[in-house]
Structure 1
């Protein structure tokens, strides 16, 4: 017994340690832990889900009504319409994305094939659903449709439109996004050469919109600018990656950090020195109480209290202040919330304007998006307590509330109204154009905020930062970071080290990368392409996926991956395909094709007619690809002497015309066959552009079944779980 007793103790300790480690891993990976129901004497409702379905929620809250009526968020004559609209369901909206030519083609399909069918519906004598483009969004590329689930179930045309939105969203050619969420990026006014920071980016619909603007010129040259998308929530960062990656941009990076204390990022100058990155555009779409989303989140009616805004104000001001420090002089900073509350909106703007001593000024937006209906920002408001006691000044606040209600939450004095111009802020109210509620303010930086910023920028611009100045700045940053962490409780410091997923490394190519000579030779890639912009996510072993970034993003990662956590960057461009008939071990990925197309030679590019391309897309089965002899002579001659392996299929429609459409598609030349190497959503999208039959890839529940079953594979495309703002 003496020999076994210590062993039993040791085994118990090992089991305890194992259980603790397993619990930590499950927590970090976001997995659901096993749930063991415990007996309780607290009643039968103990542990039950008490949440109510949306249709059973009573959309009333007396405190909400009293609070916002007191704040005068809308005119008295519009109040009833404002409240009535808040209690109705929110219409669905979507944007058409992609290159200019492809977007025009998609717009034709939306207007012709789907919208007209829906507008001609007359089911059970009811009026057709209201489907129309947003009048203020450029080029009719954003649409709003008042379509309920009941409508989708009762009409084949509505069901087809619903399926179309799902599949095209998965492909990235459409983005399902709330109307008011589209406004901040438009006011941001992004150009291809801009460095853009999205400080609170998840779930990513605005980030995707910014990426579109960055690539708006659509030529064969990568934009000089880039987008850095940040979010404090590690898990939401992966939702952000999912949204942004659909745009296939090598000029984007996702990072995970607290935006209120985001460190200064470094960039390399042409002479080899480094300086702090000053962004041309910064978007601060900050966390908020969210009462502007009542139409899509009805449970807020039950949860809303006046105290919600008081807890958010300080965090919002810190994020906006940090954004103001990171934007360059002459740059534009957009602040937005989905809240109606002036404490989260105008009060935050007023606070930061006051604290920055004239370094920022509000931009007059009256001439921008003129067809957008809006209200002016509030210049006066009251600050309310949890019990709905309202105060005009901080002097009126009782001592018991002074730790929650702060002096910076109050409006400017009457004599200072013209100094701050808070009426230049934009308020979007639900009843104005059938949307959610939103707040937007655009700030321009007219001078540095602090002397420290002036010194740093001037040194970087003219002489480059001296090593001594850089070291001092780095020491200050490190010291402040340590000081911040030292002030945290020990359990929070521990949590910061362990939370989130452990990311694979970003390993960029060197000059002597072993796999590059074969890739370059096989695809005849030009010498002006820099292979150092290619990266993998592993240090050793076989490289499975090779990703491409722009030179500016590569430099950003290399200079700053020690300071912030990079979640994702680059687009997949080459994929290992160990095929004995292929001279190169890597094939071309559809995602990165556009970024490398113009750096490739002509040998592996095949001009393909429309009918042949439709044939390949309809028979895109790797087990039974179309044989080359079944295609036109035009294609057969081009592939006759082409060695097996990856290739590019090029389709041109109305070349040189007003709506010329050019498609570049990843293909595969087998020993006797040719096929498209595209994922299912891309296959369906391409067939739609070409006017091909997509019924094989969709399920039509309105079609009567045949008398005899046919051996036809039906692929039901389920609804995407993409969250839109």
Structure 2
């Protein structure tokens, strides 16, 4: 069947499909018609919204989603950024409707929501400074432009520095970055735990890697596996054997139909139908069940979706609780989110077919539809409902605090699952190109409940470079240790490279637990990335060390580095960072006397420049030459540190509106000049101008300002926290 045939069939089959509006040849599509009668009928029947709030609920669904963001809480500059933001950027928002709102349920006033949409911020010249601020600080990793409801699951999970944390469906990474921040909440001490961020999509794993590089952590591993078939992680035991790692915290933010994202994913209005949720129920359950298996007794798992549908939410939780037979319990979590408005989870819901036929019991479902409307979709019997405490789940509705829709629940594991064995023996078969992983489950009792046999998982995707950790006799280590005065407490066995032969370009640093997990599981699992870049190879001459410090690893280096650290003033730091011309770096004599004295005492090479003033601690990697010093930092970090120093940032600011106006003015002047040159003389004193109205002229297009109006492909299941623009 051709494309047109498939399209026509789909439109006939789905009575809820709507038009994108009339198409104008020159202007594109009109505004999407934000209506879907099937959606309204379905959710009125589910009673997720009180009757007297229905109109407000629908009104907010049709309104654009406000912009929201949070300040990264684990960095020592977080409070300073908050102060700058409130004092400088929020004051520029003079209109009442643009007044920022602090999200009171988020700790330390670090999360904010604006009445402006992202488009408002991007399109208005009045908001240029705010837009530049958000973009540069997001790129530097100090702000996360994240939807409000997306911030909730990590708070409910309550991660501590010693926890072993698994994010099963992590991409694009906004929630994962929160988990990493929480792991590093004690800035004076390196955490003992770790975060493993997994996603089933190989390309999204690389996006995840890019996003999380903004928050460099040696306690992070990124993997690429189907979450419903997630292999066990093995850890070495003191006796030389291996054990299965169980996690203290697991985030299970599963793929979903995404009807809670109607305010930003307009395509959902067209493609929504009642079968979307029931078709995903099985996958969501399998992921949640696998998460429960990987959870330690006493641990907590948060299950969340950006869907309002009980088939994807309460039905999944109910099914899991039934099969767990008391080993899992729903926790009350509303107390962790003071001020958050929500409605409790449902204990009863209505199962409907695609054409909105309701069925009260599984027995009522026609035989031909039983493979679609399975028994696990149905609510508990009224007499059993109370024992599951489904009201402890939270559903956030868009009209309650002007957000997207969301569902979140927390499960505590109080005992081993009925089908869990006391011993698991890994079976690994490997070839040069692929690896196949499965797990054999042995029960201690012949009559013990058994888990359904798990399918063997074929590990796909790009073949990753190896993770080669330093050994005791690594020849690269002694000159690096000597040059930077690294203490004996820094274990070189925590350093790794990704190059088997030839010169090692970069050297990465990991935590002890990450090292052990990587070495033990590298041949079994698809590990996409781990470690922070601590050293980069330098070809500069005149230095005794062939590796310079990478800005990404600067803070981690400070714990061990005794040499080549220069303390400078705020004015010194400002001068160093404002000078971004690599050909004319600041001369040493232009620094303050104390800084200049320190610089003269060290040889040529990489160094750390540190500023301690007014409670701020700024660390910048620089290259000290014979007579000058230049900063080795990315532009976004340069702007961030200058902002903390209170410097004038006008040279870095981009005003696309002013640039567009200047471009138009230049075009006009060029047009006038051309017109003057093309005037034709008729006779002395009389000239006839050329008709320039018929001369076509190119007008520059502001690409950054162009809107991408391509509809979202809702044939692919979505997750709520889409990638920040």
What range describes the TM-score normalised by the shorter chain of this pair?
A: 0.7 to 0.9
2:220 is the alignment partner of 1:265: no
Q: Deviations over 1:201-255 (max 9, x none)?
A: 0111000010000001111x32100000001111111111111111010100000
Q: Deviations over 1:350-372 (max 9, x none)?
A: 00000111100000123221211
For 2:440 and 2:476, how far apart are their aligned partners in 1? 43
Per the alignment, do residues 570 and 289 of structure 1 end up closer, same or farther by CA in structure 2, a change over 3 Å counting?
same
Gapped runs of 5+ residues in structure 2? Answer: 9-18, 22-27, 431-435, 442-450, 667-701, 709-721
For 1:138 and 1:523, how far apart are their aligned partners in 2? 38
For 2:489, the equivalent position in structure 1 comes to 528
Per the alignment, do residues 429 and 263 of structure 1 end up closer, same or farther by CA in structure 2, a change over 3 Å counting?
same
For 1:245, the equivalent position in structure 2 comes to 213
> 1:718 Cα shift?
6.4
For 2:158, the equivalent position in structure 1 comes to 189
**Given the two structures, how large is their TM-score scaled by the length of structure 2?**
0.84
Instruction: Check whether the contact 1:280–1:331 (CA below 8 A) recurs between aligned residues.
Output: yes
For 1:631, the equivalent position in structure 2 comes to 591
* Aligned residue among 116, 136, 149 for 2:91: 116
**Given the two structures, how large is their TM-score scaled by the length of structure 1?**
0.84
* Aligned residue among 116, 132, 136 for 2:105: 136
For 2:16, the equivalent position in structure 1 comes to none
> 1:532 Cα shift?
0.9
What SS does the corresponding residue of 1:209 show, helix, strand or coil?
helix
**Higher helix share goes to which structure?**
1
Q: How does 1:19-34 map to 2 (within 5 A)?
A: none
* Aligned residue among 613, 616, 622 for 2:576: 616
Q: How does 1:29-40 map to 2 (within 5 A)?
A: none
Q: Deviations over 1:581-616 (max 9, x none)?
A: 111000000101111211011x30101001111011
Per the alignment, do residues 168 and 153 of structure 1 end up closer, same or farther by CA in structure 2, a change over 3 Å counting?
closer
For 1:606 and 1:359, how far apart are their aligned partners in 2? 56
Instruction: Check whether the contact 2:605–2:625 (CA below 8 A) recurs between aligned residues.
Output: yes
2:50 is the alignment partner of 1:75: yes
Per the alignment, do residues 619 and 362 of structure 1 end up closer, same or farther by CA in structure 2, a change over 3 Å counting?
same
Q: How does 1:644-655 map to 2 (within 5 A)?
A: 644-654=604-614
What SS does the corresponding residue of 1:253 show, helix, strand or coil?
strand
> 1:719 Cα shift?
9.1
Instruction: Check whether the contact 1:178–1:724 (CA below 8 A) recurs between aligned residues.
Output: no
For 1:397, the equivalent position in structure 2 comes to 365
Moved more, 426-435 or 397-406: 397-406
For 2:38, the equivalent position in structure 1 comes to 63
Q: How does 1:58-457 map to 2 (within 5 A)?
A: 58-118=33-93, 120-121=94-95, 127-148=96-117, 151-152=120-121, 156-219=125-188, 221-450=189-418, 452-453=420-421, 455-456=422-423
> 1:479 Cα shift?
6.4
For 2:713, the equivalent position in structure 1 comes to none
Per the alignment, do residues 303 and 166 of structure 1 end up closer, same or farther by CA in structure 2, a change over 3 Å counting?
same
Instruction: Check whether the contact 1:427–1:440 (CA below 8 A) recurs between aligned residues.
Output: yes
For 1:718 and 1:574, how far apart are their aligned partners in 2? 35
Q: Deviations over 1:269-323 (max 9, x none)?
A: 3444321101000000000110000001011000001111111000000000010
For 1:643 and 1:288, how far apart are their aligned partners in 2? 57
What SS does the corresponding residue of 1:414 show, helix, strand or coil?
coil
For 1:296 and 1:559, how far apart are their aligned partners in 2? 43
What SS does the corresponding residue of 2:57 show, helix, strand or coil?
helix
> 1:400 Cα shift?
1.5
What SS does the corresponding residue of 1:666 show, helix, strand or coil?
strand
Instruction: Check whether the contact 1:507–1:539 (CA below 8 A) recurs between aligned residues.
Output: yes
* Aligned residue among 655, 671, 676 for 2:626: 671
> 1:537 Cα shift?
1.0
For 1:154 and 1:407, how far apart are their aligned partners in 2? 50
Instruction: Check whether the contact 1:54–1:298 (CA below 8 A) recurs between aligned residues.
Output: no
Per the alignment, do residues 471 and 685 of structure 1 end up closer, same or farther by CA in structure 2, a change over 3 Å counting?
closer
> 1:101 Cα shift?
3.1
> 1:116 Cα shift?
1.3
What SS does the corresponding residue of 1:146 show, helix, strand or coil?
strand
For 1:40 and 1:308, how far apart are their aligned partners in 2? 22
Moved more, 65-74 or 616-625: 616-625
For 1:526 and 1:322, how far apart are their aligned partners in 2? 43
Q: How does 1:707-722 map to 2 (within 5 A)?
A: none
For 2:570 and 2:524, how far apart are their aligned partners in 1? 50
For 1:139 and 1:717, how far apart are their aligned partners in 2? 38
> 1:129 Cα shift?
1.2
Gapped runs of 5+ residues in structure 1? Answer: 1-38, 122-126, 457-468, 655-659, 710-715
Q: How does 1:438-517 map to 2 (within 5 A)?
A: 438-450=406-418, 452-453=420-421, 455-456=422-423, 470=425, 478=438, 496=458, 499-517=460-478
**Aligned residue pair count:** 643
For 2:527, the equivalent position in structure 1 comes to 566
For 1:330 and 1:153, how far apart are their aligned partners in 2? 46
What SS does the corresponding residue of 1:539 show, helix, strand or coil?
coil
For 2:334 and 2:175, how far apart are their aligned partners in 1? 22
Moved more, 97-106 or 580-589: 97-106
Instruction: Check whether the contact 1:133–1:144 (CA below 8 A) recurs between aligned residues.
Output: yes
Per the alignment, do residues 264 and 545 of structure 1 end up closer, same or farther by CA in structure 2, a change over 3 Å counting?
same
For 2:543, the equivalent position in structure 1 comes to 582
What SS does the corresponding residue of 2:337 show, helix, strand or coil?
coil
Q: Deviations over 1:123-180 (max 9, x none)?
A: xxxx451312112111110111122467447754411101110111110001110000
> 1:452 Cα shift?
4.2
2:503 is the alignment partner of 1:545: no
What SS does the corresponding residue of 2:368 show, helix, strand or coil?
helix
Per the alignment, do residues 486 and 159 of structure 1 end up closer, same or farther by CA in structure 2, a change over 3 Å counting?
closer
What SS does the corresponding residue of 2:487 show, helix, strand or coil?
coil
What SS does the corresponding residue of 1:436 show, helix, strand or coil?
coil
For 2:12, the equivalent position in structure 1 comes to none
For 1:210 and 1:487, how far apart are their aligned partners in 2? 30
Per the alignment, do residues 214 and 343 of structure 1 end up closer, same or farther by CA in structure 2, a change over 3 Å counting?
same
What SS does the corresponding residue of 2:479 show, helix, strand or coil?
helix
For 1:150 and 1:175, how far apart are their aligned partners in 2? 17
What SS does the corresponding residue of 1:622 show, helix, strand or coil?
coil
Instruction: Check whether the contact 1:203–1:724 (CA below 8 A) recurs between aligned residues.
Output: no
* RMSD of aligned alpha carbons: 3.1
Per the alignment, do residues 57 and 703 of structure 1 end up closer, same or farther by CA in structure 2, a change over 3 Å counting?
closer
For 1:36, the equivalent position in structure 2 comes to none
